[in-house]
Amino acid sequence: MEASSIYHKKIRDNEAKLEVIIRKKKWFTLLRAVTFLGSIAGFYFLFPLSLPAAILAALFFLALFIYFIQSDIQNSRKEQICKIMISINRNEIEFLNGNFSQFEDGAEYTDPKHPYTFDLDIFGEASLFQFLNRTSGNPGKGSLAGRLMNISEKKNISREQEAVKEISAKLNFRQQLIMKGMMHKKREDAAAKIIDFLKSTDVLSKNALLKFVVNGFPFLSIPLVILSFFIVPPGYLLLLLMLSFLINYQYVRKAGIVHNRISGTNEALAGFAEVIALIEKESFSTANLSALKEKLFHHERDASEIIQKLSKYGKRLDYRLNIFVAIPLNLFLLWDLKQLMLIEKWKKKYHDIIPDWFNILGDFESLSCFGNIAYNFPDWHFPEVKNSEGFVFEAEEMGHPLISRNKRINNDFKIHGRSSIAIITGSNMSGKTTFLRTIGVNLVLAQNGAPVCAKSLRFSPVGLHTSMRIMDSLSENTSSFYAELKRLNEILQRARKRDNVLLLMDEILRGTNSHDRHLGSEALVRQLVKNKAVGLLATHDLELSQLEKELPENIANYNFDVQISGKELFFDYKLHPGVCKSMNATILMEKMGIEMNRND
């Protein structure tokens, strides 16, 4: 069954469940009202006959009232789950129809100075990140961004592919992962806040006497309260409460500091625990996923249980926000200090492992994003990885992943060996830049273990460096031409170091005259060949293609051509061997209303 049909079925199933849940919700509203009134009525009518009977009747209806409240809460949670599941599947149907604007775009990770992400539209509106992203905030979002920013030839890509394939087949698991994350959106910044708290200094850890007092205080206060009603003079209880007040007063500020550090993270922690519990219950067969899951244990205890415990302590500390609860708890039980002790004990035991668990959760979410693509596009293929000394990139029917299927034009392309430069000429709007991005984006997917938008791909794992979209910088007092020179210098430095990297360059040195531009471009290509670099250069400079005659073992010419009929242009966006024979700038300018004075 196609992905679209499955998503439609899931929507129908959840809509049917939602109808039942909404009917139950109406009944629970009625039953809560009836049992509450029944409690009052039972006490009122039975009181004249028998006080015990009146109390029992009131308690019976009150118990039913509490039961229906709890049932209503559970029913409301099911309602929320159904609505989220409907939203998840509707989003995927929109995605299959070419619209993925509903997903977060990761614009905060945009960096014009990054070796390739800015040029390849990895982040921002209509980006690869937005196309892939099914995370529910950090740490999943951070993990996905990190994977897209840090491709490396050192990864075990075959193991990554196996993990993506396995998680792709687990549709229910992936959607549950998204759903539970969406139910706890407050965890967006909670991970960073919790990690900062774990690094903070303890306020009670070195005070052994205080710990003894806090642990023993309830064993003194509670019996004294009871005995003060019978045989112990009330003055002793008053002295004890004065001592309690002084202890609490001394530490109230420190309790407030700790509370502020973890304030607002309790629900997020519960959310993390719930999502991690989902991972703990799932079985995995591939090495990567099994290894990640195995790390979610500490001394035979589940990570979800441990994280849930901190959430519980934090909720207890929140009682201090209610003065009517906080005063008796602290006077008789030294409540805040007890919770601080439990929190600090927890922190001492687990502070070094919690960040790793957050990272593991992020890894599962980011791998799930790649798995989702494999599920949605079964016609995409997992590439063949060639780990060898040389370089190979062979693609058959490769297209840009972000261009919809009905508009995408696919191309074949291959480049082998070191000291290999492909020079791509072509007219304006013919597809040169898109082709460079097609290679770059598919390479980013391939080196993350994901399928690529191609019938087949064989490649050697490499780094990426691009020079395509150059921006000036007012803050750095940098012109676009100088910024491009800096960018090209970075490329040359990597070539001179013989880095294992693929270079993608588009219309270099565009900020100078055509003569200097040609000389500079030719000099750059010669240096890249000399330093055994591999890359593609898209250019309007047809003279640059003459280098193929001089260096036939190193330079190969390709082009994107355009057919011109009168004043009409026809693009096929297909890559051809050789040099472009037609340019279209004059026709395009005339179409924009610019009158050209040409000698017939």
Does residue 1 have a pLDDT over 90? no
pLDDT, one tens digit per residue, over 56-107 is 988 998 999 999 999 999 999 999 999 999 999 999 999 999 999 999 999 9
Greater confidence (73 vs 427) lies with: 73
Of 21-35, 145-159, 419-433, 574-588, the one with minimum mean pLDDT is 574-588
Each domain of the chain, given as residue ranges in start order, spans 1-97, 181-368, 384-591
Q: State the pLDDT at residue 279.
A: 95
Average predicted confidence (pLDDT) for the chain: 88
Average pLDDT for residues 462-485, to the nearest whole number?
72
Binning the chain into helix, strand and coil, the percentages to the nearest 5 are: 60, 10, 30
- pLDDT of 157-166, one tens digit each? 999 999 999 9
Higher-confidence residue of 39 and 137: namely 39
In this structure, what token pair is assigned to residue 36? 């509450």
Global pTM reads 0.88
* pLDDT at 277 exceeding the cut of 90: yes
Residues 292, 373: contact at Cβ < 8 Å? no
Quote the longest CA-to-CA distance of the chain: 121
Q: Which tops the pLDDT comparison, 363 or 48?
A: 363
446 pLDDT more than 50: yes
Is residue 497 over pLDDT 50?
Answer: yes
For the domain made up of 384-591, the CATH class stated in words is alpha beta
Task: Give the residue from 132, 38, 142 showing the smallest Cα distance to 92.
Answer: 132
Q: Which residue has the higher pLDDT, 564 or 2?
A: 2
Task: Count other C-beta atoms under 10 Å from residue 292's C-beta.
Answer: 19
pLDDT score of 402 more than 90: yes
What percent of the chain is predicted at pLDDT more than 70? 93
- Residue scoring higher pLDDT (255 or 529): 529
Is the per-residue pLDDT at 569 higher than 70?
no
Residue 561's pLDDT is 81
Give me 550's structure tokens. Answer: 């001089």
Mean pLDDT of 384-389: 84
Q: What is the pLDDT of residues 254-266, one digit of tens each?
A: 888 888 888 778 8
Summarize pLDDT for 179-233 with one digit per residue, the tens. 998 887 655 577 888 888 888 888 776 778 888 888 899 998 888 888 887 787 8
Q: What confidence tier does 474 reach under pLDDT thresholds 50, 70, 90? A: very low
pLDDT of residue 471: 64
Report pLDDT for 44.
Answer: 84
In 325-410, where do the E strands start and end? 384-385, 392-398
Identify the weakest region by mean pLDDT among 200-214, 540-554, 562-576: 562-576
Which positions ≥6 away from 529 have C-beta within 8 Å? 419, 421, 551, 554, 555
Alpha carbon distance 491, 481 (integer Å): 15
Contact call for residues 261 and 200 (beta carbons, < 8 A)? yes
Q: What is the mean pLDDT of residues 249-277?
A: 85
pLDDT of amino acid 586? 53
Better-scored residue on pLDDT, 264 or 168: 168
Q: What is the DSSP string of 399-434?
A: --TTS-TTT---EEEEEESSSEEEEEEE-TTSSHHH
What pLDDT is stored for residue 477 in this prediction?
45
- Asked if the model's pLDDT at residue 502 lies above 80, the reply is yes
